[in-house]
Amino acid sequence: MSAASWPSEGQAPARQRSEGRVRVTVEAARGRTHLAELSESGALRARLPRVDGVGLEAVLVNTAGGVACGDRFTIAAGAGAGARLTVSTPAAEKVYRSDGATAHIAVRLSAAHGAHLHWMPQETILFDHARLARRYEVDLAPLSYFLSFEAVVFGRAARGEAMESGHLCDHWRVRRAGELIFADALRLSGPVAALLSRPAVAAGKAALATCLYVAPDAEARLEEARGLLDGCASEAGASAWNGLLAVRWVAADIETLRRDAISFLMRFRGAPLPRVWAS
């Protein structure tokens, strides 16, 4: 390479970016759930391990080994009428340091009449100077059951690393029968550690998570959810309105948060977590 072809000082070099798409849809027949469609391209794959019961589990695998600057991933998962689908990941997703470009992840989820769709990836770990923008679009039938759990860790505690700087933008839009019922956005950009240290943001905590439950019985389960949070080491709270229930956790580290969240999710769902959570 000639000297003239090197990037100028301060300019991020051109890098090979990862792209991936995966789509999983399931349908119910004769009291069991069956795979209806599976399409994969690029760095994303979906595996369907054998599980007990009438539902299916889809495990999303990122063969790129993580998310780097400028990567783009698209995920779609849908459960047809009466079907049951749980989507998870085999391990925490790592978002690496970026030299300027932002990685993008788009997730579209749908549940038809009587369907149960659970979105339960393991935590996302943001390295120092990571840059990530994610968008979730959820479309639900009026009589469907949707549960999501998302956890984010700022920095690698095992390495003694905080996320001093970077960018995270999370957008959630949930619609029931085409009507917007939940809109949530989190944006931390620039001096992330300093922002997290503010009492009104996270009071210095480095791990946070949200569980969202949208179902006909969501509001009726509020007191149950609050009772399940009693005694947890994380700071946690639950609220319910408009046919949905939201639970949020903030903890100093992911180990504390995972322990509290796993205890809650197992009892609230009345079922074990996806097997990959224990691997």
Name the residue ranges covered by the structural domains of the chain: 30-206+215-278
Contact 270, 253 (CB under 8 A): no
Q: At what angle do helices 222-229 and 254-269 cross, to 10 degrees?
A: 140
Which amino acid appears at position 1 of this protein? Answer: M
For residue 99 the two structure tokens come to 């030299």
Half-sphere exposure of 223 (CA within 13 A, CB side): 1
Residue pLDDT, tens place only, 121-164: 999 999 999 999 999 999 999 999 999 999 999 998 777 888 99
Contact 249, 267 (CB under 8 A): no
| pLDDT score for 100 | 84
Beta pairing class for 56-62 and 72-79: unpaired
Contact 75, 117 (CB under 8 A): no
Residue pLDDT, tens place only, 35-65: 999 999 999 999 999 888 889 999 999 999 9
Q: Among residues 91, 119, 93, which one has the least CA distance to residue 24? A: 119
Classified as helix, coil or strand, 225 is: helix
Burial of 23 (0-12, 13-18, 19+ CB in 10 A): middle
Q: Report pTM.
A: 0.92
Going residue by residue through the chain (279 aa), what tens digit of pLDDT does each one get?
334 333 444 455 556 788 999 999 999 999 899 999 999 999 999 999 988 888 999 999 999 999 998 999 999 999 999 999 999 999 999 999 998 899 999 999 999 999 999 999 999 999 999 999 999 999 999 999 999 999 999 998 777 888 999 999 999 999 999 999 999 999 999 999 999 999 989 999 999 999 999 999 999 999 999 999 999 999 999 999 999 999 999 999 999 999 999 999 999 999 899 999 986
| pLDDT score for 50 | 87
| pLDDT score for 15 | 63
Burial of 83 (0-12, 13-18, 19+ CB in 10 A): buried
| pLDDT score for 8 | 42
| pLDDT score for 158 | 74
